[in-house]
C-alpha cells in the first residue's frame, strides 16, 4: 500500500470520519427512553381500567337508588340489582364486594314544608389496584384503592 496514493488517503479519511460519527447514538437514546415511554403508556391504560370500574360502581349505586325508591322493593332486591349491575360491568364480585347499604334519609325543605323522604344507597367496592402487577411485585408494593359511590333519590309519592 502506497501512503502517497490519493485513494488510500481518502479511505483512511473516510474510516476516521465514520469512527467519530454519532450514528449509533440515536439507537442508544431510544433504548434508554423506550422503557420510560412504555411505563407511561401502560400507566395510562391502568388508570383507564380503574376509571372504568369506578364508572360501573357509580352507575350501580344509581341503579340501586332508583330501585330502592320504587314501591315493593326491599333492601335485598336493591343489593341483588347492584351486584348484577357490577357483574354485568365485568367488575369482579366477592361475598363482601360490593358492599351495599340502603338508608332512609330526610331532606329538609325551606318554607315550612314537611321534609322529603328519600333513600340513600351507598355502594362501596374495594378494588385491589396494582399498578403494573409485575412491577409492583418487584418492588413488593400492593395498594388497595376503595372505589365508593353514593346515590340518593327521593321516595316516590304514594309509597
pLDDT tens for each residue of the chain, 159 residues long: 555 555 666 666 666 665 566 678 888 899 999 999 988 888 888 888 888 888 998 898 888 888 888 888 888 898 899 889 989 998 888 777 788 888 888 888 888 888 888 888 888 877 666 666 666 666 676 666 778 888 878 775 544
Q: Which residue has the cell 474510516?
A: 15
pTM: 0.66
DSSP symbol at 132: S
pLDDT value at residue 19: 56
Q: Could you tell me if 91 and 103 are in contact, meaning their C-beta atoms sit under 8 angstroms apart?
A: no
- 3-state secondary structure (DSSP) of residue 106: strand
Q: 31: left (phi > 0), else alpha (psi -120 to 50), else beta?
A: alpha
Q: Which residue has the cell 327521593?
A: 154
Q: How far, CA to CA in Å, does 157 sit from each of 3, 69, 116?
A: 106, 9, 10
Q: Element (H or E) spanning 118, and its range?
A: strand 116-127
Amino acid at each position: 500500500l502506497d501512503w502517497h496514493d490519493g485513494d488510500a488517503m481518502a479511505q483512511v479519511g473516510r474510516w476516521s470520519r465514520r469512527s467519530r460519527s454519532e450514528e449509533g447514538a440515536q439507537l442508544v437514546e431510544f433504548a434508554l427512553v423506550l422503557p420510560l415511554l412504555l411505563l407511561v403508556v401502560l400507566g395510562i391504560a391502568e388508570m383507564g381500567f380503574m376509571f372504568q370500574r369506578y364508572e360501573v360502581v357509580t352507575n350501580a349505586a344509581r341503579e340501586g337508588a332508583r330501585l330502592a325508591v320504587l314501591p315493593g322493593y326491599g333492601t335485598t332486591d336493591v343489593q341483588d340489582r347492584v351486584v348484577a349491575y357490577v357483574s354485568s360491568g365485568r367488575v369482579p364480585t366477592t361475598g363482601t364486594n360490593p358492599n351495599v347499604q340502603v338508608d332512609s334519609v330526610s331532606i329538609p325543605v325551606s318554607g315550612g314544608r314537611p321534609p322529603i323522604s328519600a333513600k340513600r344507597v351507598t355502594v362501596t367496592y374495594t378494588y385491589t389496584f396494582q399498578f403494573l402487577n409485575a412491577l409492583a411485585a418487584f418492588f413488593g408494593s400492593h395498594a388497595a384503592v376503595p372505589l365508593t359511590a353514593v346515590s340518593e333519590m327521593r321516595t316516590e309519592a304514594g309509597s
